[in-house]
Structure 1
Amino acid sequence: MILCILFSAIITVKNISSSFPNIPIAVYFKLDFSFIY
């Protein structure tokens, strides 16, 4: 379960970063982990 969540989070981060390249990826990682936990 955790691996699936992390995998989907990485995919969403890649999609968002490709859509908005000006925004740092680390911010999305922090947001995703804050939502997960």
Structure 2
Amino acid sequence: MKNAIEKMIEVKKKESNYCSLNRIFMLCLLIMYVIV
């Protein structure tokens, strides 16, 4: 699961146009990771 998350983060980093969305996305991932 962690590998998939890291891969998604890598893809999101490449889409640096969506900086604010990227931040929200990573925040959601972090919250989900803490809960799980």
Query: What is the TM-score normalised by the length of structure 1?
Result: 0.46
